[in-house]
Chain A
């Protein structure tokens, strides 16, 4: 059972270009979370998605950032017109049950991340 797969591992974009980050959750997982990690900082929540639905996007910047998790295929985090401040590691996690599940079996598994560098 493969873990959470993210690609690419490293992505370099010039200012103004678009960045597309992909995340394939673990088999059987339908809940996906995206986090951003700035250098020497912790993980900041961005967005939580289930298949075809955005459940919580309270951590997403209002402009230039979008996320989707289609019925078929990976979840995509899209950053338009990238700026230097977008340089960070972006991590995806998946879980079998949502973190709101009262069974308390809410373990999330993380991918290895995509390191975005904007030059």
Chain B
């Protein structure tokens, strides 16, 4: 069945450091891919998405490129801020796959940024 595997946390970085959070997926169809962010005590917010191969999603300085050949959707940011501290979830939606009718989430990566 469809699944998402992402880098285990926690990840701790200094402010202005470069961030990469790895995400790979398995899907029987051709999924759309998402990154969601969860700030402490809050629900999930969509950070960015990509719906086809080689698409790049971007928002708030974060980027991720849909790589079909490596089944990956790694999240990157060039210079992180303390306010980026949160839990990040990689997810997929596969309308024609075995998990149609739901969004499948990875286990989440907790990111902490030191001032």
Contact = CB atoms under 8 A, between A and B. Distances in A.
A55 B102 CA distance: 10
A45 B100 contact: no
Contacts, number: 68
Interface residues of A, number: 29
A48 B102 contact: yes
Contacts of B103: 33, 45, 93, 99, 106, 108
B46 A42 contact: no
A45 B42 contact: no
Contacts of A93: 44, 103
A110 B51 contact: no
B89 A42 contact: yes
A99 to B, nearest CB: 5
B72 to A, nearest CB: 18
A5 B13 CA distance: 34
A106 B44 CA distance: 15
B49 interface: yes
B22 interface: no
A99 B101 contact: yes
A3 to B, nearest CB: 9
A42 B95 contact: no
B45 A106 contact: no
B101 A56 contact: yes
Contacts of B80: none
B26 to A, nearest CB: 16
Interface in A27-52: 33, 35, 41-45, 48
Interface of B: 32, 34, 36, 42-46, 49, 51-52, 89, 93, 95-96, 100-108
13 contacts: A33-B103, A41-B108, A42-B89, A43-B105, A44-B105, A45-B103, A56-B102, A91-B43, A99-B95, A108-B46, A108-B93, A108-B103, A112-B43
